[in-house]
Amino acid sequence: MSQADLSIHAQVSRSEATEVMTAPTFSVPAKKMAMWLFIIADSATFAGCLVAYGFIRNASANWPRPFHGITNVALMTLILLTSSLTMMFAVRHAESGDTAKAFRWTLITAVCGIMFAALHLREWFGMIGEGATLFHNPWGTPLFSSLFFSITGLHLLHVTGGVVALIVVGLRYRGGRYNADDLEITGLYWHFVDLVWMFVVPLVYLLNLAH
């Protein structure tokens, strides 16, 4: 074997070794694994908030049930679930290489997020108008409004961040700087935001309906 052959063989072995060394754990790319770890950690945050809410609700004597209608929260839930579907469409089109459609569906998802946030803020302003603030509640224990604004505010913050991320990643994907994997990873975060809402709605809204 010539020196050149040995050199090529060494290069191939080195590149194979490099590929083995950088092979993603569980065949998952590092970026996706990082997003999953973040989602698990953030789930623990929300779980802690909701469990604390449950304990405080059970322990409070005059816990109010101020929600008279479900229209607004039903509409918000519909919008957020639909945004998860539109995000799925965006990822599918990105995986098939259709950049234009993927970007369009990503923007539609972001618009759904903005609509959700607008409805949420409208609800907040309605409650503030009735006298409920972070430290005061006209219907009973002030802990109700503290917990309500804290938990829904934390979720709204996540939605807002998600909308920004969708717009930025969508634009960079369309510009060729990001690929379909990056769009999918952003979609994972958006589905997580929707998943959290599935727990917030029954615990914070539906259990506090006025009967």
Partner 1 sequence: MTTAGASNSSAGKDIAVYGCLLALAGIQFLIAYSDITASQMFVRMLIVAMVEAGVALLFFMHLWENRGLKWFVIIFTVAVILGMQYGWTDSFRLSNGVPWAK
Positions in the binding site for partner 1 (CB under 8 A): 26-28, 32, 36-37, 40-41, 43-44, 47-48, 54, 70, 74, 77-78, 81-82, 84-85, 87-89, 92, 96, 184, 188, 191-192, 194-195, 198-199, 201-203, 206-207, 209
CB of 132 to partner 1, least distance (A): 20
Instruction: Report CA 63 to chain centroid distance, whole Å.
Output: 29
Question: Considering beta carbons, is residue 66 or 171 the nearer one to partner 1?
Answer: 66
In 3D, which of 75, 106, 73, 118 has the Cα closest to residue 184?
A: 106
In angstroms, give the least distance from the CB of 1 to partner 1. Answer: 39
Task: Count other Cβ atoms within 10 Å, centred on residue 205.
Answer: 19
* Buried b or exposed e, range 9-46, using 16+ CB within 10 angstroms: eeeeeeeeeeeeeeeeeeeeeeebeebeeebeebeeeb
Q: Which is nearer to partner 1, 145 or 194 (CB)?
A: 194
**CB 117, min distance to partner 1, A:** 19
CB closer to partner 1, 165 vs 207: 207
Residue 59 or 198 having the CB closest to partner 1? 198
- Under 8 Å between Cβ of 170 and 179: no
Total residue length of the chain:
211
| Closest approach of partner 1 to the CB of residue 94, in Å | 12
Q: How far is the CB of 33 from partner 1 (least distance, A)?
A: 8
Closer to partner 1 by CB, 171 or 203: give it.
Answer: 203
**How far is Cα 59 from Cα 49, in angstroms, rounded to an integer?**
15
Our CB check for partner 1 shows the closer of 82 and 171 to be: 82
Q: How far is the CB of 184 from partner 1 (least distance, A)?
A: 8
**Rounded CA separation 3/9 (Å):** 10
Count of Cβ atoms closer than 10 Å to residue 166 Cβ: 27
CA within 13 Å, CB half, 60: 17
CB-neighbour burial class of residue 96 (10 A; exposed 0-12, middle 13-18, buried 19+): exposed
